[in-house]
């Protein structure tokens, strides 16, 4: 299901440069620089800092995820997912000191709602993540994102 925005777009304004290389100065989540400077952050600040770190060391197929840590949670949580030839991993700097295989997670944990990969955004719908056109692409006349996102949509499932 294609949408023009997510409920998290305003909050993510300050960290959007990490995801899309688009400079902005709106209030919101901590940037990776702020997390490193204060050595303190909530789950979203920690996860976006980890996303930036993974990108800086050349990791590919890295995604910033907003969802539920446990199925019954009232609040959202953020973590990083990393897909490699060796498997699909959950990197949660808030609750896990180690990398965890996604396949080993109980289906009631790490439930994605929204996923960000560079300028691409996805929303979990009926056990599938569906590509959403980035706002800057819409404003610029858009580019066809369906080919680039097709592999991700077919490989990712809500757990």
Q: Domain residues for 47?
A: 11-155
In order of 40, 120, 136, the CA distances from 93 in angstroms are 12, 23, 30
Residues in CB range of 143: below 8 A, 6 or more apart: 137
Tell me, yes or no, whether 87 lies in a domain: yes
Tell me, yes or no, whether 47 lies in a domain: yes
Tell me, yes or no, whether 48 lies in a domain: yes
Instruction: Give residue 11's pLDDT band: very low, low, confident or very high (50, 70, 90).
Output: confident
Predicted TM-score of the model (pTM): 0.64
Tell me, yes or no, whether 3 lies in a domain: no
Tell me: the pLDDT tens digits for 44-94? 999 999 999 999 999 999 999 999 999 888 899 999 999 999 999 999 999
Instruction: Give residue 20's pLDDT band: very low, low, confident or very high (50, 70, 90).
Output: low
Q: Which ranges of the chain would DSSP assign to H, the alpha helix?
A: 16-20, 32-38, 43-56, 135-139, 146-155
Tell me, yes or no, whether 15 lies in a domain: yes
Tell me: the pLDDT tens digits for 117-155? 988 888 876 443 444 434 333 333 333 333 323 322 223
Which position has the token pair 């997510």? 6
Q: Is the dihedral of CA 8, 99, 46, 95 positive or negative?
A: positive
The total number of structural domains in the chain stands at: 1
Pairing of strands 128-132, 120-125: antiparallel
Tell me, yes or no, whether 139 lies in a domain: yes
Tell me, yes or no, whether 4 lies in a domain: no
Tell me, yes or no, whether 88 lies in a domain: yes
């Amino acid at each position: 299901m294609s949408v023009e925005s997510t409920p998290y777009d305003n909050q993510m304004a300050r960290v959007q440069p990490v995801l899309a290389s688009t400079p902005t100065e709106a209030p919101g989540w901590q940037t990776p620089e702020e997390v490193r400077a204060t050595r303190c952050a909530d789950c979203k600040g920690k996860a976006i800092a980890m996303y930036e770190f993974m990108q800086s060391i050349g990791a590919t197929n890295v995604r910033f995820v907003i969802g539920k840590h446990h199925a019954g949670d009232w609040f959202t949580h953020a973590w990083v997912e990393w897909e490699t030839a060796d498997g699909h991993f959950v990197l949660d700097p808030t609750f896990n000191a180690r990398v965890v295989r996604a396949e080993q997670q109980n289906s009631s944990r790490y439930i994605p709602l929204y996923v960000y990969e560079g300028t691409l955004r996805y929303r979990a719908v009926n056990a599938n993540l569906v590509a959403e056109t980035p706002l800057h692409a819409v404003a610029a006349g858009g580019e066809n994102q369906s080919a680039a996102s097709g592999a991700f949509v077919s490989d990712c499932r809500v757990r």
